[in-house]
Amino acid sequence: MTLKEVSEKTGVPYRGDPDCPVLGIKDTSRLNKETPLADGYIYFIEKQQYLENINSDKNESIALGAKEETETFKNALVVEKDARLDFINLLNLFDKSKSFEQSNTDSLVHPKSKIGENTLIYPGAIVMQGAQIGDNCVIFPGAIIEYECKIGNNSTVRSGAIIGHHCVVGNHCIVYENSVIGSDGFGHYDVNQKQYKIPQIGSVHLADYVEVGACTAIDRGTIEETSVGEYSKIDNHVQVGHNCIIGKNVYIAGKASLSGSITVGDKAILAGGCGIADHINIAPDSIILAGAGVIEDTEGGKMYFGYPARPAREMHRINKSLGQLPDLIKRLKQVEQSLNGSNSSD
């Protein structure tokens, strides 16, 4: 589409070249001053502070935002009322989940999919339009490979697992029973007592040698990718929220819950039942012990537990002090009684 066409479809006025090609949307939160903006992509500039992380050379990129946030851009979609509602309309316009074509055949493998050599697809599995599955893969009964997915070589998708549309699974990966790769991210916007669902138009990218345990959900990114790095292993019943970036050689144990937009550094370990608040940075080589609740960024190479999670050495001192509280309270009462007795005699 062109900038003018996007403006007409979303109802947002534009400024700049009407014929400027629009290729998609990019995530503003991942920008830094060293990274140039991509030509032809729209960036949602919701606040002035977002401009601080933007390379001054904007080229043919496009801003979506209020007049004061977009005035330094050559091309812009200029918001007049509610920027977030206009952003939701824009996401709906680029929502790839609405672009697939239904098969008119009875086959469970769509004729427009591509299947590699020596790949075994069991009866009852579904492979949709445009899916690409590499060589030597195994797709078990009841697995669903949605449209425009890409699965590398030597990977296995077990029964009941779903690889959502436009998601990517690398080589030598295993997705176990009933897991969902590319479930919808949990994003909503409330205005005037009305809820608006924020479309999640991104995808999930599992790098090579990733394993995802049974009944785990990895949400697709709002705009770009939720990603899991090479050799990372995710246990059963884990929730990974939208926009998370998980590094290489990471271990995440059962029932861990990651909110949206979390970064997990290489070789970090997240033990069972821990919870991580949104937009937290788990530094490389961090260890989060079972049941911990992390609400602040961690430091690399340290172990954390408790709620709120603190470095292990600090938490051990706190827990040791807690054990002394009953005796301290008893002694305090004795001191109060002594003082009260002394005051009454005076």
Other Cβ atoms less than 10 A from the Cβ of 315: the count is 19
Give 11's DSSP letter: T
Report how far residue 337's alpha carbon sits from residue 323's, in angstroms, rounded to the nearest whole number. 23
Report how far residue 88's alpha carbon sits from residue 106's, in angstroms, rounded to the nearest whole number. 36
Q: One-letter amino acid identity for 196?
A: Y
Give 255's DSSP letter: T
Q: Which residue among the candidates 110, 165, 205, 242 is catalytic per the annotation?
A: 242
Computed on alpha carbons and rounded to an integer, the radius of gyration of the chain in Å comes to 26
Measure the N-to-C terminal CA separation of the chain; round to a whole number of Å: 90
Q: One-letter amino acid identity for 116?
A: G
Tokens of 335: 């001191």
> CA distances (Å), 70 to each of 39, 62, 80, 94, 183, in order?
16, 9, 12, 21, 33
| 55 in Cβ contact with 7 (< 8 Å) | no
> Pairing relation of β-strands 126-127 and 62-65?
unpaired
Report how far residue 39's alpha carbon sits from residue 21's, in angstroms, rounded to the nearest whole number. 9
242: annotated active-site residue: yes
Report how far residue 70's alpha carbon sits from residue 58's, in angstroms, rounded to the nearest whole number. 11
Tokens of 147: 């449209």
Question: Would you list the DSSP string of 82-120?
Answer: -HHHHHHHHHHHT-GGG------SS-SB-TTSEE-TT-E
Q: Catalytic amino acids?
A: 242
